[in-house]
Structure 1
Amino acid sequence: MITLTDSAPRSLSQAERAYRELREAVFAFRLLPGDRFTESDVARQLGCSRTPVREALTRLQNENLVKCYFRSGWEVVPIDFTVFTNLYETRSLIEVHAVEQLCLGADARVDRGVIDRLGLLWRLPKAEQVTDISQAAALDEDFHLELVRAAGNDELVAILSNITARIRIMRRLDFEFDRRIYQTYDEHVALLDLIAAGRTVAAKAYISEHIEDGHREVSRITVQRLQQARVKSLG
């Protein structure tokens, strides 16, 4: 059964409120991967019509969080760990290449000014660092996309943008604990320093390990959260 909290501000439009409620239900595993539901289920819980619910679900489908089955309702996109491993591997290949280009700075398309721009966002005292999960996750996504964008290959940016959307449900879990957020700030600054110094080999190894470490952590947390949610649903 679909379970929503209906906690989004009432001042929002019905479509925006439905979007936020459903998105948070997916991220919090109140709606589990593979769960099926209908627009009527959501509309009934939120006390609105199906039209804003359909608009919200279309947005979530564009984010690869749910998918529609003609005449059969909606489903939370199942988690396939093999697919996620492949996506993280592809992400790593793209970002290692981007870091190499930024270190070398030989291509006219490369924008090394990104080092200073990102530095302003990530070289912050601990007291000023963002600790909200959603904001931290969004900042992290932007950091990695900006590095690839600065390397000058728009096709790689498009591919990484797609991968980012597809791994978002797992990647967000990496920021459930403050220590991981603070660690991310430290690691991003360390990477920027390596790029600024032109230390190509070290920077490529660092970004590779940074991504793999995140993959290991979110995989572990995802399994744990799924087990907890399923036990809770049975209870």
Structure 2
Amino acid sequence: MQTVAHPSRILPAVVVHRSRADEAYAQLKSDIAEFRLVPGDRFTESDVSERLGVSRTPVRQALFRLQQEGFVEVLFRSGWRVLPFDFDQFEQLYDLRMVLETTAVQRLCTGSQQVDLALLDALAAIWLVPPSERSSDRVQVAEWDEAFHCALVAAAGNAEMARVHRDVTDRIRIIRRLDFIKQPRIDATYDEHAKILKA
């Protein structure tokens, strides 16, 4: 049986040198995505600084970035608060993602761009499997699902479209993770992705 690289491993590697602010941002966003911080939770920069073991300056930079993305708000003289999810914004981001992915699939089907067949083979190795070989690990399936969507767009060969798609994907990751709480949703994801790949 041939081993095929996982799509997330064969996407073009981007070397990123992360600052302490980037690391604090990633950790805080992960805390919100994994519901370690939930809407309504209040905290101070000092709380976060102590927990993450970094100074307040990178924490403040991370929080301002999360504020711009609509995840937290600053409270006058009383720290920060995690905001409720803005479902209208998520809906708009989903619409944008649909436009990008539809265009990518049209390019893949018409051959108007050079198609990255290795990416498509890697996707097939994960999603075109018998039901008995499907993963039931919701975290793993959520990661594979995200990699599927990103790889599909990347395979179409338009680097700028793939970059914008990755940004949208990053912004909707929190809400997407909620899709994979129950097994029927995981099964439906396998079925849907298999249909797309076969087409």
**TM-score normalized by the length of structure 1:** 0.60
| Shift, 1:162, TM fit | 1.0
| Shift, 1:169, TM fit | 1.0
| Shift, 1:174, TM fit | 0.4
Measured in 1, the distance between the counterparts of 2:80 and 2:73 equals 5
Which residue among 72, 81, 92 is the counterpart of 1:86?
Answer: 92
Measured in 2, the distance between the counterparts of 1:177 and 1:71 equals 40
Question: Alpha-carbon deviations, 1:40-79, whole Å to 9, x = none?
Answer: 33467x5x74549x66x949x57x5855759964443542
CA RMSD of aligned residues (A): 3.7
Matched residue, 1:131: 136
* Number of equivalenced pairs: 175
| Shift, 1:177, TM fit | 0.7
Question: Alpha-carbon deviations, 1:80-126, whole Å to 9, x = none?
Answer: 1211111111110110010111011132x332443322101212233
Measured in 1, the distance between the counterparts of 2:187 and 2:41 equals 34
**TM-score normalized by the length of structure 2:** 0.69
Question: Alpha-carbon deviations, 1:160-214, whole Å to 9, x = none?
Answer: 11111111111100000112112111211111001xxxxxxxxxxxxxxxxxxxx
Where in structure 2 are there 5+ consecutive unaligned residues? 1-22
The SS at the match of 2:112 is coil
Matched residue, 1:175: 180
Measured in 2, the distance between the counterparts of 1:87 and 1:117 equals 26
1:163 aligns with 2:156: no
| Shift, 1:146, TM fit | 0.5
Matched residue, 2:189: 184
Q: 2:138, 2:180 within 8 Å by CA — same for their partners in 1?
A: yes
Which amino acid is the alignment partner of residue 82 of structure 1? D
**Change in 2 beyond 3 A, CA 1:100/1:112:** farther
**Change in 2 beyond 3 A, CA 1:155/1:125:** same
**Change in 2 beyond 3 A, CA 1:34/1:159:** farther
Matched residue, 1:153: 158
Q: 1:33, 1:77 within 8 Å by CA — same for their partners in 2?
A: yes
Q: Between the two proteins, what is the percent identity of the paired residues?
A: 41
Measured in 1, the distance between the counterparts of 2:89 and 2:75 equals 24
| Higher RCO, 1 vs 2 (CA within 8 Å, ≥6 residues apart) | 2
